[in-house]
Chain A
């Protein structure tokens, strides 16, 4: 039981070249910038866009193989999909939406309705069975879309930004529900998201796609600790530098250097967590090995923290508490000193 996809296709500007394997019970989260090819990959797996070259197999069944000209049409793939804006059929009631897939697969009307009712009960939406989708809230629509996709018992479940259509306050609760409902599904699950929180909360494995190719893949801890691209670093909210290790420090490609005890030699990434970056009004004295001057480029308030973007060699993002920010009297364009302990610079080979 697993998904093995080797997909190569061109769609407008995008050239997608991806090899993706996923085990059942695993929740793979696809992240990446806009236009990177995440949704296109989902659509290729569902058979909604043809693959130019490659092979897709699910549990040993070949869904697509361009070398043998095999192509199972969408309606005969054991694949369920939750679309970004849910796409509940507006002319059908909620229960008819959920029962649609069963009806399409030849299940009798009464049987399909019965199973649909079971799904709605599981989703806590029994009261809405005969309502039209337009009367549902965003979170309810999402649950109906999920029930509709799961009702046909697919082996592969694809979710395209299932929380993107919701406003921020609703998201946390719906994310929790989604996680609970997804946990009961036994097949392969692939979810696309833009939201780091969603990725971290839901993923067993994160796959990063940029420019049509997979640039990094691993479990959550691995990807957050050792990002391999600027996008991933920003996604998980850390400072990433690329450079060359020269023994006990790393020379950064874009200028500047950072002392790091285990820098070693050769091409390397260095990661510095924003909360490990200290800001000072005067040149600090004492132990920190990495001290340099910069100017404040801007401050972003994020809940109980302030993220301060500092321009310098290298430029870096620091994270301080609001009182500390206040005390430092940070103004845009104002001069500051930055320090980072050498032991807080994590280096790994590029």
Chain B
């Protein structure tokens, strides 16, 4: 009885909500439909083979994979520190780490420029001591991507470390395993699924990076022109190329979603 009433109630309330709900859905879906409808499906292969498209594709994939690898290498230890050590200012540190996730990427690019630019805080010293200049190099692309994408990995891994049973690590210690061995043989395998999810998110974010990259690394074809930059540029001269690159990015995003579906949509 109550179930029937509830159903009737929800049906009655539906029209009031239907209009904005459909509108919201349209806002999210129509652009993607537009992209797919307008895609030059017949010339897909040829467009992908076009030198500037391929160049951007290869650069994007290389830099984003580098950024992800570095994020794992540095981010996992940082996540461990946040999750396992008690120290003053930990909350502040965590806020600092999350900041790049909400910061407009352009601001990140400006900040990177001021830090690593030729007259920047560290860049100045790098230039004088080693003759290294970072801005407008492929390295700068990787740094920009690392800056915006690493927080995603750190947050995912830290959450996993927090919720994982400390007892397993203690049990391993009583069996004679030192800290490193415990981490390698027990902690890491136990958080592997979360690490994978965090890495996938991190990679997707690095692949889509635009604002910080164009500000800090510029837009030099073959060196710093990643896919999103190429899309933006191609849109003005050769829309087909832009559409094809957009399709590739869309496919990657869908791929990541499919990969993570069990983690995010299991409850649904």
Interface residues of A (CB under 8 A from B): 46-48, 73-77, 79-81, 83, 85, 87, 89-91, 100-101, 104-105, 148-149, 152
| B170 and A100 form a contact (CB under 8 A) | no
A87-B167, A87-B168, A104-B181 as given contacts; A81 in contact with B190, CB under 8 Å:
no
Residues of A within 8 A of B173 (CB): 47-48, 73-75
| A104 and B167 form a contact (CB under 8 A) | no
B236 within 8 A of A: no
With CB as the reference atom, state the residue of chain B lying closest to A105.
Answer: B176
Residues of B within 8 A of A105 (CB): 176
With CB as the reference atom, state the residue of chain A lying closest to B176.
Answer: A104
Closest 8 CB pairs of A and B: A101-B175, A104-B177, A74-B173, A104-B176, A87-B171, A81-B174, A91-B189, A87-B167
A90-B190, A104-B181 as given contacts; A148 in contact with B175, CB under 8 Å:
yes
What CA separation (Å) do A73 and B174 show in the bound complex? 9
B172 within 8 A of A: yes
| B172 and A76 form a contact (CB under 8 A) | no
Residues of A within 8 A of B167 (CB): 83, 85, 87
What CA separation (Å) do A85 and B190 show in the bound complex? 17
Residues of B within 8 A of A46 (CB): 174
Most buried by B among A76, A87, A105: A87
Knowing that A77-B174, A87-B170, A100-B175 are A-B contacts, what are 13 other residue pairs whose CB atoms are under 8 Å apart, sorted by A's residue number?
A: A46-B174, A47-B173, A75-B178, A76-B176, A80-B174, A80-B175, A87-B165, A89-B168, A90-B190, A104-B172, A149-B174, A149-B175, A152-B176
B186 within 8 A of A: yes
With CB as the reference atom, state the residue of chain A lying closest to B188.
Answer: A91
Residues of A within 8 A of B165 (CB): 87
| B176 and A48 form a contact (CB under 8 A) | no
Nearest chain A CB to B18's CB is how many angstroms away?
46
Nearest chain A CB to B178's CB is how many angstroms away?
5
Residues of B within 8 A of A81 (CB): 171, 174
Size class of B's contact patch?
Answer: 10 to 19
What CA separation (Å) do A87 and B164 show in the bound complex? 12
What CA separation (Å) do A85 and B185 show in the bound complex? 20
Residues of A within 8 A of B185 (CB): 100, 104
A48-B170, A83-B171, A104-B181 as given contacts; A89 in contact with B186, CB under 8 Å:
yes
What CA separation (Å) do A47 and B172 show in the bound complex? 13
Nearest chain B CB to A75's CB is how many angstroms away?
5
Nearest chain B CB to A257's CB is how many angstroms away?
51
Residues of B within 8 A of A89 (CB): 168, 171-172, 186
Partner of A100, one of B177, B178, B190: B177
Residues of A within 8 A of B170 (CB): 48, 74, 83, 87
Nearest chain B CB to A153's CB is how many angstroms away?
11
Residues of A within 8 A of B168 (CB): 87, 89
Nearest chain A CB to B221's CB is how many angstroms away?
46
With CB as the reference atom, state the residue of chain A lying closest to B167.
Answer: A87
Residues of A within 8 A of B174 (CB): 46, 48, 74-75, 77, 79-81, 149
What CA separation (Å) do A112 and B14 show in the bound complex? 65
Nearest chain B CB to A36's CB is how many angstroms away?
20
Residues of B within 8 A of A104 (CB): 172, 175-178, 181, 185
With CB as the reference atom, state the residue of chain B lying closest to A77.
Answer: B174
With CB as the reference atom, state the residue of chain A lying closest to B168.
Answer: A87
| A100 and B172 form a contact (CB under 8 A) | yes
| A101 and B176 form a contact (CB under 8 A) | yes
What CA separation (Å) do A75 and B186 show in the bound complex? 14
| B176 and A75 form a contact (CB under 8 A) | yes
What CA separation (Å) do A148 and B174 show in the bound complex? 10
What CA separation (Å) do A79 and B174 show in the bound complex? 7
Q: Which of B132-187 contact A (CB under 8 A)?
A: 165, 167-168, 170-178, 181, 185-186
Residues of A within 8 A of B186 (CB): 89
What CA separation (Å) do A79 and B170 show in the bound complex? 12
Pick 17 A–B contacts, CB within 8 A, sort by A.
A74-B170, A74-B174, A75-B173, A75-B177, A75-B178, A76-B176, A85-B167, A87-B168, A87-B171, A91-B192, A100-B172, A101-B177, A104-B175, A104-B176, A104-B178, A148-B175, A152-B176
